[in-house]
C-alpha cells in the first residue's frame, strides 16, 4: 500500500521537478512554537492523512485521486477524479522566496521588527521530492511602553474614556498589529453603539515610535474628525452623535415586487406601522420585537439584536433595517425603516429517518402542520403526527418483523413572549428574546413485552441571557403513564422493576445551557448543559395527611387512579472541543446524573426519568439498555426470552474522541468511552426474594469504594460523511473492560474481530 502510493504520487511530476512534501518553520533553529506561522506560506504540500499523534504520513488521498484520473480528459470518470483530486504540488523557488517574505512580515507584525528569515530546500536521493525548512531568526520582541490618544471631537473623547479601562493595550505587553486591530475594532464598535452611525473604521489609526529604545514602542492612537466637502474643497468637522427621529415599520412587504400590501398608517409608542385593514399583525407584537425607538441615539448593537429577534420568531422570512440621514437636520437626525416579508401562513413538513434503539433497527417519521400568527401576535400553532416501526427480536414472534410500533400526536402553540406571568415577563429585557410554549401530546407504544400510553401537558419558558447562555423553565411537565398490557413473565423476570407501572408525573424543570462553539475563535471551546427537575412535591403537599386514595398493596397515594411520582433529578453534561489543527479536533464529554426518588416513590423513579447506558451517543461498545447497573450479570438481560431494559438512577460517563479528515467531507474518529449506571443502596422491598436475588441487586448498588471497579470501557473507530445540513455516522465499538463478566474475566478485548463489534448507525455527531 505504501509503496504503491509512493510511486503513484510522482506520476504527474515533470522530469527534473520535485514534489513538495513538507514545509517546516523553525524559530532560532528550534521548532516554532506558533503553529499558525505555516499558514502564511504561499506554496503548500498536497494534503495528507497522518497516523494520529505522529508525523508519519499514511497517504495523500487528493493527489492519489488526481493521479488515478487523467488531466487531459475533458469529461468522463477520469476527468471527474482529477476534478475532485489535487494536482501535485511542484516546488517553485519563486513561491519559496515569497513565502519567506510573508513569514518575515508575519513575525514583524508580532513585534519582531529585526527578524531575518532563511530557507533550506532538501531533496531526496533521486531528487524527485523536496522539503523546505524556513528558519526565522526572530531578534528581540518589542513591547508597549505607553499609549497616547489624539482626539479632537469632545463626544468621541467621552466615549473612548468610558471604555478605555477595557483596553488590552497595556504597558509591558508585546506589541502586535493584531492587538492594535482588535482595539480599533473595539473602539469603532463602542462609537457605533453610542450614537455615531456608520462611523468609518478608517478614521481610527495608529502611529508607532520605536525611538524610545530598550525594545519598547510608544503608540499614538488617532481618531480623525469627520470629513466634509464644499465643491472640490475638503474640510473636517467635529463628530456629532446621531439620533433616531422617526421609525417606520412595514410588516407586509414583498421584496420580490418591492411593494407593500399595507394601506393604513398606525402610530403606537411613537412608531409608525403600515398596516392592513383589518390588521394582520398587532402593533404591540411588532413593537416588542424592536429594540430601539425614536428619541434614542443610534445604537448598532440594538439594531443587530432587532435583526436577530425578528429573524428568530419564525414569522418573517426576511427582515431589512435601513437608516436615512434627514437632510437639513442640524441635530443629525435619522429616519429608520424596517421592512418585513412574512412567511406563508400555513406550511407543511415531513421527515423520515432510520432508527437504531438497543440494536433494533427501524424507521420513524413526523408530519407537521404549522399555522403562523394565529392570534395576530406572532404565535405559531403546530400539530404533528409521528410514528415509528422497529424490528425487535423475539423467538416467540419471529413472523412479525416490525413488532415494536409507536404512534403519537402533539399539539402546541409557541408565543414570542412570556404568557400567564406578566411580572416575570417584565423582568426579562427584549434582547433576551423571551418565548413560551404550551403543548399537549398523546403517545401509544406497543412492544412484545408491554403496551404503554403517555398523555402529556406542558408549559415552558425560555430566554437567551446572551449569545452563549440560554435558560429554560418547564413550569409544568405533566405526564400520565398508563400500561394497558404488560407481560407478567417479563415483569417477574426483572430484578429491578424500574418504573414499569402506571404513574402520574407532575414535574418542574430548570435547564441552563452555555455554548460558545459558534462565537469564539479560540482553540478551545466549551459546552455545558445542566438541569434540575422535581416532581410530586405539590401533590404531596395537597395530599397532606392522606387526602388522596391509597393503594393497599404498595401504600402509594393515587391521583386519577394511579400513583404520583416523587423525585428530584439533576444532570450535568460538559464538553470540551479542542482544535489541534484546522482539521483535527479532540473532543471530550463528561456526564453525571442522579435521580433520587422518595415519598410516594419508595423504590424506583419512573422509567422515563432514570438513566440508560449504551447506544450510538453513549457507551458505543454496548447496545442501548444493555449495560449495568454496576456489574449486574449480562446473562440476565435476555433471561426467559425477554429483553430487559437496564436503567438506573445514577450515571457517570466520560467520552473521548479524536476527529480527523480522511478525504473531503468524509471524516474519521477514534474514540474511548467509560461509564456505567447504578442504583441507590436502599430498601427495595426484597423480603420475598431469595438470598441469591438480593445479592444480585447488591451488585448494582453504587458504593464509593467499589464503583470505579465497575466502570465499563470501550474503544472504537468511527466514519462520518458530512452533508452540510446533517452528518451520516457509523461508529464501530469494541468492549475493553466489561463489568458484567466474572471478576477475573472482565478484560474482553480479544483482537479486532468483526463479530465482537457493535455497529452504531446514526445521524449527526454523538456530541
- In Å, what is the CA distance from 210 to each residue of 107, 168, 170? 16, 20, 16
User: E-assigned strands of 623-740?
Assistant: 647-648, 650-663, 666-678, 712-722, 727-737
Instruction: Reply yes or no on whether the pLDDT at 559 is more than 80.
Output: yes
Q: Which of 145-154, 224-233, 604-613 has the highest mean pLDDT?
A: 145-154
Beta-carbon contacts of residue 434 (< 8 Å; ≥ 6 apart): 416, 417, 418, 425, 428, 461, 462, 463
Beta-carbon contacts of residue 330 (< 8 Å; ≥ 6 apart): none
- pLDDT recorded at residue 638: 58
- In Å, what is the CA distance from 605 to each residue of 183, 497, 573, 600? 54, 10, 21, 10
Instruction: Reply yes or no on whether the pLDDT at 362 is more than 70.
Output: no
What is the Cα–Cα distance from 138 to 133, expressed in whole angstroms? Answer: 15
Dihedrals φ, ψ of 717, to 5°? -130, 140
- pLDDT recorded at residue 464: 94
Q: Which pLDDT band, with edges at 50, 70 and 90, does 637 fall under? A: low
Q: 436-465, pLDDT tens digit by residue?
A: 999 999 999 887 777 889 999 999 999 999
What mean pLDDT comes out for the span 4-8?
49
Lowest mean pLDDT among 185-189, 325-329, 575-579: 325-329
Lowest mean pLDDT among 24-28, 129-133, 555-559, 579-583: 579-583
- pLDDT recorded at residue 735: 92
Instruction: Reply yes or no on whether the pLDDT at 545 is more than 80.
Output: no
**CB atoms near residue 647 (< 10 Å):** 25
Q: How many angstroms separate the most distant Cα atoms in the chain?
A: 103
What mean pLDDT comes out for the span 704-726?
90
Mean residue pLDDT across the chain: 87
Based on its alpha-carbon atoms, the radius of gyration of the chain, rounded to whole angstroms, reads 33
Q: Is the dihedral of CA 245, 337, 302, 326 positive or negative?
A: negative
In the numeric block, which cell numbers belong to residue 431?
A: 434582547
Contact in structure between 246 and 267 (CB atoms under 8 Å): no
Q: Which pLDDT band, with edges at 50, 70 and 90, does 276 fall under? A: confident
Instruction: Reply yes or no on whether the pLDDT at 435 is more than 90.
Output: yes
What mean pLDDT comes out for the span 266-282?
90
Q: 730-764, pLDDT tens digit by residue?
A: 899 999 999 988 888 888 887 666 667 888 888 78
What is the bridge-based pairing of β-strands 585-597 and 567-579? antiparallel
- pLDDT recorded at residue 636: 67
In which residue are the cell numbers 398608517 written? 265
- pLDDT recorded at residue 489: 64
Q: 662-684, pLDDT tens digit by residue?
A: 887 889 999 999 999 999 988 77
What is the Cα–Cα distance from 712 to 73, expressed in whole angstroms? Answer: 54
Contact in structure between 717 and 668 (CB atoms under 8 Å): yes
- pLDDT recorded at residue 560: 87
Q: 606-627, pLDDT tens digit by residue?
A: 888 999 898 888 999 988 888 8
- pLDDT recorded at residue 10: 85
Instruction: Reply yes or no on whether the pLDDT at 501 is more than 90.
Output: no
- pLDDT recorded at residue 505: 94
What mean pLDDT comes out for the span 641-650?
75
Lowest mean pLDDT among 119-128, 307-316, 544-553: 544-553
In the numeric block, which cell numbers belong to residue 125?
A: 536521493
- pLDDT recorded at residue 24: 93
From the list 254, 251, 245, the residue with the least C-alpha distance to 264 is 251
What is the Cα–Cα distance from 161 to 140, expressed in whole angstroms? Answer: 33
Choice between 11 and 370, residue whose per-residue pLDDT is larger: 370
Percent of the chain surpassing pLDDT 70: 90
Q: 32-88, pLDDT tens digit by residue?
A: 877 788 889 999 998 887 776 677 777 788 888 888 988 888 888 988 888 888 899
- pLDDT recorded at residue 452: 86
What mean pLDDT comes out for the span 265-285?
90
In the beta sheet, which residues pair with residue 40?
none
How would you class 760 by CB atoms within 10 Å of its CB: exposed for 0-12, middle for 13-18, buried for 19 or more? buried
Q: Which pLDDT band, with edges at 50, 70 and 90, does 392 fall under? A: very low
From the list 596, 627, 606, the residue with the least C-alpha distance to 746 is 627
In which residue are the cell numbers 497516523 written? 51
What is the Cα–Cα distance from 210 to 716, expressed in whole angstroms? Answer: 56
Instruction: Reply yes or no on whether the pLDDT at 170 is more than 80.
Output: yes
In which residue are the cell numbers 473507530 written? 717
Beta-carbon contacts of residue 558 (< 8 Å; ≥ 6 apart): 548, 549, 550, 551, 564
- pLDDT recorded at residue 743: 84
Q: Which of 344-353, 360-369, 416-425, 534-543 has the highest mean pLDDT?
A: 534-543
Q: 238-262, pLDDT tens digit by residue?
A: 999 999 999 999 999 999 898 888 7
Amino acid at each position: 500500500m505504501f509503496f504503491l502510493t509512493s510511486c503513484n504520487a510522482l506520476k504527474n511530476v515533470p522530469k527534473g521537478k520535485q514534489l513538495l512534501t513538507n514545509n517546516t518553520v523553525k524559530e532560532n533553529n528550534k521548532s516554532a512554537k506558533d503553529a499558525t506561522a505555516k499558514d502564511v506560506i504561499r506554496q503548500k504540500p498536497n494534503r495528507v492523512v497522518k497516523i494520529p499523534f505522529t508525523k508519519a504520513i499514511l497517504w495523500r488521498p487528493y493527489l492519489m485521486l488526481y493521479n488515478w484520473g487523467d488531466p487531459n480528459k475533458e469529461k468522463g470518470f477520469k476527468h471527474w477524479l482529477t476534478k475532485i483530486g489535487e494536482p501535485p504540488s511542484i516546488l517553485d523557488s519563486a513561491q519559496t522566496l515569497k513565502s519567506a517574505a510573508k513569514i518575515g512580515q508575519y513575525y514583524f507584525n508580532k513585534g519582531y521588527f529585526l527578524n531575518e528569515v532563511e530557507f533550506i530546500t532538501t531533496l531526496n536521493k533521486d531528487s524527485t521530492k523536496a522539503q523546505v525548512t524556513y528558519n526565522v531568526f526572530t531578534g528581540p520582541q518589542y513591547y508597549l511602553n505607553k499609549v497616547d490618544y489624539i482626539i479632537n471631537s469632545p463626544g468621541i473623547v467621552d466615549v473612548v474614556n468610558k471604555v478605555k479601562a477595557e483596553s488590552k493595550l497595556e504597558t509591558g505587553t508585546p506589541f502586535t498589529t493584531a492587538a492594535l486591530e482588535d482595539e480599533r475594532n473595539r473602539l469603532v464598535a463602542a462609537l457605533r453603539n453610542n450614537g455615531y452611525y456608520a462611523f468609518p473604521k478608517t478614521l481610527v489609526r495608529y502611529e508607532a515610535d520605536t525611538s524610545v529604545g530598550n525594545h519598547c514602542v510608544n503608540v499614538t492612537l488617532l481618531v480623525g474628525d469627520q470629513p466634509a466637502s464644499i465643491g472640490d474643497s475638503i474640510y473636517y468637522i467635529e463628530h456629532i452623535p446621531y439620533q433616531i427621529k422617526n421609525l417606520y415599520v412595514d410588516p407586509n412587504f414583498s421584496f420580490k415586487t418591492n411593494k407593500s400590501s399595507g394601506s393604513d398608517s398606525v402610530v403606537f409608542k411613537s412608531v409608525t406601522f403600515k398596516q392592513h385593514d383589518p390588521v394582520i399583525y398587532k402593533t404591540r407584537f411588532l413593537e416588542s420585537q424592536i429594540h430601539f425607538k425614536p428619541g434614542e441615539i443610534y445604537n448598532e448593537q440594538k439594531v443587530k439584536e432587532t435583526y436577530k429577534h425578528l429573524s428568530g420568531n419564525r414569522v418573517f422570512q426576511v427582515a431589512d433595517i435601513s437608516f436615512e440621514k434627514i437632510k437639513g437636520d442640524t441635530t443629525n437626525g435619522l429616519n429608520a425603516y424596517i421592512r418585513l416579508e412574512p412567511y406563508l401562513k400555513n406550511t407543511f413538513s415531513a421527515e423520515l429517518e432510520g432508527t437504531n434503539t438497543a440494536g433494533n433497527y427501524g424507521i420513524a417519521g413526523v408530519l407537521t402542520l404549522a399555522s403562523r400568527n394565529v392570534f395576530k401576535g406572532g404565535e405559531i400553532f403546530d400539530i404533528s403526527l409521528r410514528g415509528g416501526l422497529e424490528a425487535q427480536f423475539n423467538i416467540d414472534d419471529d413472523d412479525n418483523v416490525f413488532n415494536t410500533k409507536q404512534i403519537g400526536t402533539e399539539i402546541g402553540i409557541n408565543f414570542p413572549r412570556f404568557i400567564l406571568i406578566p411580572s416575570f415577563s417584565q423582568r426579562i429585557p427584549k434582547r433576551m428574546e423571551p418565548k413560551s410554549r404550551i403543548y399537549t401530546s398523546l403517545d401509544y407504544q406497543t412492544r412484545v413485552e408491554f403496551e404503554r400510553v403517555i398523555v402529556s401537558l406542558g408549559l415552558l419558558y425560555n430566554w437567551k441571557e446572551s449569545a452563549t447562555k440560554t435558560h429554560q423553565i418547564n413550569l409544568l411537565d405533566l405526564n400520565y403513564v398508563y400500561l394497558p398490557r404488560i407481560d407478567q413473565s417479563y415483569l417477574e423476570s426483572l430484578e429491578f422493576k424500574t418504573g414499569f407501572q402506571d404513574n402520574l408525573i407532575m414535574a418542574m424543570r430548570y435547564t441552563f445551557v452555555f455554548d460558545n462553539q459558534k462565537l469564539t475563535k479560540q482553540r478551545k471551546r466549551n459546552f455545558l448543559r445542566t438541569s434540575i427537575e422535581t416532581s410530586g412535591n405539590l401533590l404531596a403537599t395537597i395530599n397532606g395527611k392522606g387526602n388522596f386514595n391509597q393503594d393497599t398493596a404498595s401504600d402509594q397515594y393515587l391521583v386519577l387512579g394511579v400513583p404520583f411520582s416523587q423525585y428530584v433529578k439533576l444532570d450535568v453534561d460538559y464538553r470540551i472541543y479542542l482544535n489541534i489543527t484546522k482539521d483535527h479536533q479532540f473532543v471530550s464529554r463528561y456526564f453525571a446524573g442522579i435521580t433520587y426518588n422518595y415519598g410516594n416513590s419508595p423504590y424506583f423513579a419512573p422509567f422515563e426519568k432514570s438513566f440508560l447506558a449504551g447506544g450510538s451517543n453513549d457507551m458505543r461498545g454496548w447496545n442501548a439498555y444493555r449495560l449495568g447497573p454496576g456489574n449486574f450479570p449480562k446473562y440476565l438481560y435476555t433471561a426467559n426470552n425477554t429483553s430487559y431494559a437496564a436503567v438506573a438512577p445514577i450515571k457517570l460517563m466520560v467520552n473521548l474522541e479524536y476527529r480527523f479528515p480522511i478525504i473531503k467531507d468524509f471524516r474519521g474518529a477514534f474514540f474511548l468511552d467509560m461509564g456505567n449506571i447504578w442504583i441507590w443502596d436502599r430498601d427495595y422491598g426484597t423480603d420475598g426474594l431469595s438470598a441469591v436475588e438480593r445479592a444480585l441487586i447488591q451488585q448494582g448498588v453504587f458504593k464509593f469504594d467499589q464503583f470505579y471497579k465497575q466502570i465499563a470501557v470501550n474503544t472504537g473507530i468511527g466514519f462520518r460523511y458530512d452533508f452540510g445540513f446533517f452528518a451520516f455516522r457509523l461508529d464501530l465499538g469494541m468492549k475493553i473492560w466489561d463489568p458484567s463478566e466474572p471478576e477475573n474475566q472482565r478484560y474482553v478485548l480479544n483482537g479486532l474481530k468483526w463479530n465482537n463489534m457493535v455497529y452504531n448507525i446514526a445521524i449527526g455527531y454523538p456530541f
